[in-house]
């Protein structure tokens, strides 16, 4: 009779455990569904001047919002869910912000035999006849709405009027040349005018490759030597500035650009953790219950034994 | 009472405006972001100077020996002159400084090309006899140690050209080329001490110089070129 009660009790608790897990899972599912009915304020712009509008918290860009520029285009969206735009310019080492120092030039250069042929005597990057480099930068739409972006390049020599025979070319990932071409390099003046505009779909990216070189045999050794000699008296600088600007596209569903590969595990981590915690709590409760039961049974057995002794 | 109603309506409207402002601001604002990356570099320093002083090694006070020095260099401003300078027992001179200075930020090839010509007229009794000592840096070349004008000239040439070398960026060229390493000098002892130089032979050379040109020509061409 006692054993039967015990079995019954165990079965009940098993059912309770299963039900509890089911309830926890249902609650989680319900809450996740309920989230869709709540006001999504992630794309809202704070009236307090907080510019944390995008998801990309790593993006230290100087994002600014203007309420007057595009009322027309957004009004077309009607009652659509607020968008969450985000844009990131970067290279392999750095996520750009305002005036980000990037690595277009180098402190030293090697020839084909891996021998250092040009080396700065300090911390300044240098250029010289025979030097060249490639720089790749990436523009990524980190938001959920298409963006129109522009890339503008400024290139200039300092002091003004200095003519450094640097040649460059800039290529977009899809083969479009915005300066120079596959067979020709552009001079400083042409690079200075280089510009490109395009649309980048949500979650998509694009990249540009900037190649520059100072030909070793440019045909004017005297000029090169004169520049090298003048450089001992004053700094002759060559500067490249790459400016990127992104705004919400009039066509928010545009899918231009390269789609980023799906990364990581999409399993509902929160749900699994919650279930694990619930299971743990139930397990502990069962253990405590079992112990209490044992104690109770022992006490009853003692009482029966005492009665029998009497 | 009327005022109170108006105030109430105004208050309600204010609240509604505040609420809707926060909602529609998210709708009508436009996202604009801009980033920029920049980099600059300066032209690497070259600043190598090749200087030669006193290229007129042989004094123009004599008129029997034609000599030239430091002729035809693309990198050195010194040029040969056509005057006739002379050698004689007891005379000497210093070519003085050939200096290469500078600390270029590029790898360089210092190429020293020498032209050394010793006339084959330096003979006495049919045998090569040139009692002149040419000094290149710390190295001395005594004409009487050589059996022919060509071998004497070749030895000097090889020594001068042997100072050519390649250097890594930021090498201070002064350390190698701004001291005495490239100094070239000459001397004709008045009295020989080694038994090879004799007054009789010196006099014979002097007599021969009346009708024939006994010359020593040394030209040095230095170029410092960036290595690719």
Distance separating alpha carbons of residues B171 and A60, to the nearest angstrom: 42
Considering only the beta carbons, identify the residue of B45, B169, B170 that sits closest to A228.
Answer: B45
The reply to whether residue A101 touches residue B168, judged by beta carbons under 8 angstroms, is: no
Residue B219 belongs to what H/E stretch?
Answer: strand B216-226
Residues of A in Cβ contact (< 8 Å) with B47: 228-229, 231-232
Instruction: Please return the burial class of B50, using the count of CB atoms within 10 Å of its CB with bins 0-12, 13-18 and 19+.
Output: buried
Tokens linked to A124: 């300044």
DSSP code of A47?
T
Mean confidence (pLDDT) of chain A: 80
pTM: 0.66
Segment A265-278 shows an average pLDDT of 76
At A26 the pLDDT is 67
| CA–CA distance, B116 with B219 (Å, rounded to integer) | 6
Pairing, β A132-141 against β A87-90: antiparallel
In whole angstroms, give the CA distance from residue A50 to residue A118. Answer: 47
What does the alpha-carbon distance between residue A139 and residue A241 come to, in Å, rounded to a whole number? 15
* Confidence band, pLDDT 50/70/90 cuts, at residue B105: very high
- In terms of pLDDT, which residue wins out, A37 or B223? B223
Which of chain B's residues have a Cβ under 8 Å away from the Cβ of A73? 30
Does the beta carbon of A91 lie under 8 angstroms from any beta carbon of chain B?
yes
Q: Tell me the two tokens of residue A298.
A: 């022992």
Q: Which residues have C-beta within 8 Å of that of residue A100, sequence separation ≥ 6?
A: A94, B35, B36, B37, B38
**CA A282 – CA B169 distance, rounded (Å):** 73
In SS3 terms, A186-252 reads as ECHHHHHCCEEEEEECCCEEEEEEEEEECCCCCCCHHHHHHHHHHCCCCCCEEEEEEEEEEEECCCC
User: Which of B86, B85, B80, B93 minimizes the C-alpha distance to B135?
Assistant: B93
Partner-chain contact A111 B226, CB within 8 Å = no
Task: Check CB contact of A116 with chain B, cutoff 8 Å.
Answer: yes
Compute the distance between CA of residue A33 and CA of residue A271 in angstroms, rounded to an integer.
Answer: 13
Q: What is the pLDDT of residue B216?
A: 83
Q: With bands split at pLDDT 50, 70 and 90, how would you rate the model's confidence at A148?
A: very high
Indicate the pairing of strand B49-52 with strand B98-101.
antiparallel
The pLDDT score that the predictor gives to residue B52 is: 73
User: Which tokens sit at A127?
Assistant: 């250029």
Higher pLDDT among residues B55 and A56, named by residue: B55
Q: Which residues of B are less than 8 Å from A87 in CB distance? A: 31, 33, 35
Write down the pLDDT at residue A50: 40
Contact A65, B29 (CB under 8 A): yes
Q: How far apart are CA A14 and CA A21, in angstroms?
A: 11
In the structure, what pLDDT confidence band is assigned to residue A222 with cuts at 50, 70 and 90? confident
Query: What pLDDT does A100 receive?
Result: 93
C-beta of residue B128 within 8 angstroms of C-beta of residue B204: no
Q: Which residue has the tokens 């060249």?
A: A132
Residue contact A71–B25, C-beta within 8 A: no
To probe the interface with B, which of A54, A231, A234 has the most B CB atoms within 10 Å? A231
Which residues touch A172 (CB under 8 Å, ≥6 apart)?
A: A178, A196, A198, A206, A207, A208
Q: A104 near A135, Cβ under 8 Å?
A: yes
pLDDT digit string (tens) for B163-188? 999 999 999 998 888 777 788 888 88
Distance CA A257, CA A145 (A): 13
What pLDDT is recorded for position A55?
Answer: 39
Cβ neighbours of residue B183 under 8 Å, at least 6 residues apart?
Answer: B94, B95, B96, B97, B98, B135, B136, B137
Whether the pLDDT of residue B25 is over 50: the answer is: yes
Residue that the structure tokens 């019954």 belong to: A8
Q: Indicate the pairing of strand A100-101 with strand B30-43.
A: parallel
CA of B137, closest CA in chain A: separation in Å? Answer: 28
Query: Is A259 strand, coil or helix?
Result: strand
pLDDT, tens only, B27-85 = 555 678 889 999 999 999 998 888 776 554 443 332 222 222 222 232 322 233 334 55
Adjacency order of strands within the sheet including B108-118: B67-69, B216-226, B108-118, B165-167
What residues are paired with A238 via a beta bridge? A157, B41
The mean pLDDT of A182-202, rounded to a whole number, is: 94
pLDDT in tens, B201-225: 988 888 888 888 888 888 888 888 8
Question: A69: nearest CA in chain B?
Answer: B30
pLDDT the model gives residue B82: 39
> Distance of alpha carbon B226 from its chain centroid, rounded?
12
A69 Cβ under 8 Å from any chain B Cβ: yes
């Amino acid at each position: 009779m006692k054993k039967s009660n015990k079995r019954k009790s165990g079965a009940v608790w098993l059912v309770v455990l299963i039900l509890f897990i089911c309830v926890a899972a249902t609650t989680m599912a319900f809450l996740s569904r309920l989230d869709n009915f709540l006001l999504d304020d992630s794309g809202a712009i704070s009236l307090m001047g907080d510019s944390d509008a995008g998801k990309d918290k790593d993006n230290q860009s100087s994002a600014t919002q203007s309420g007057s520029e595009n009322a027309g285009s957004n009004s077309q969206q009607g009652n659509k869910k607020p968008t969450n735009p985000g844009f990131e310019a970067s290279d392999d080492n750095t996520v750009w912000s305002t005036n980000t120092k990037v690595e277009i030039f180098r402190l030293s250069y090697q020839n084909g035999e891996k021998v250092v042929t040009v080396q700065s005597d300090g911390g300044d990057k240098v250029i010289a006849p025979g030097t060249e480099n490639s720089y790749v930068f990436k523009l990524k739409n980190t938001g959920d709405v298409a963006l129109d972006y522009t890339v503008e390049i400024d290139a200039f020599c300092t002091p003004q009027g200095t003519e450094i025979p640097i040649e460059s070319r800039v290529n977009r990932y899809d083969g479009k040349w915005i300066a120079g071409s596959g067979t020709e390099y552009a001079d400083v003046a042409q690079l200075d005018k280089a510009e490109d505009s395009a649309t980048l779909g949500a979650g998509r990216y694009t990249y540009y490759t900037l190649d520059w070189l100072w030909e070793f045999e440019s045909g004017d050794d005297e000029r090169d030597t004169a520049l090298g000699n003048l450089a001992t008296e004053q700094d002759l600088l060559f500067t490249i500035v790459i400016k990127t600007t992104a705004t919400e596209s009039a066509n928010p569903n545009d899918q231009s650009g390269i789609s980023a590969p799906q990364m990581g595990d999409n399993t509902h981590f929160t749900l699994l953790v919650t279930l694990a915690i619930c299971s743990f709590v139930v397990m502990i409760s069962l253990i405590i219950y079992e112990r209490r039961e044992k104690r109770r049974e022992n006490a009853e057995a003692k009482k029966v034994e005492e009665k029998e002794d009497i | 009472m009327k005022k109170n109603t108006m105030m109430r309506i105004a208050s309600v409207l204010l609240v509604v405006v505040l609420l809707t402002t926060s909602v529609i601001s998210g709708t009508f604002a436009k996202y604009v972001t801009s980033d920029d990356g920049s980099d600059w570099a300066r032209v690497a320093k070259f600043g190598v100077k090749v200087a030669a002083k006193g290229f007129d090694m042989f004094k123009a006070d004599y008129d029997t020996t034609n000599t030239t020095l430091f002729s035809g260099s693309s990198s050195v401003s010194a040029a040969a002159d056509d005057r006739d300078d002379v050698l004689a027992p007891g005379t000497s001179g210093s070519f003085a400084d050939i200096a290469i200075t500078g600390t270029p930020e590029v790898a360089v090839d210092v190429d020293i090309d020498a032209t050394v010509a010793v006339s084959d007229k330096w003979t006495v009794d049919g045998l090569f006899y040139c009692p002149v000592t040419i000094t290149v840096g710390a190295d001395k070349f005594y004409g009487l140690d050589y059996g022919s004008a060509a071998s004497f000239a070749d030895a000097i040439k090889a020594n001068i050209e042997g100072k050519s070398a390649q250097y890594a960026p930021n090498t201070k060229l002064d350390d190698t080329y701004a001291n005495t390493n490239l100094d070239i000098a000459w001397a004709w002892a008045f009295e020989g001490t080694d038994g090879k130089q004799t007054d009789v032979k010196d006099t014979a050379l002097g007599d021969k110089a009346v009708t024939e040109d006994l010359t020593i020509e040394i030209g040095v061409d230095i170029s410092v070129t960036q290595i690719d």
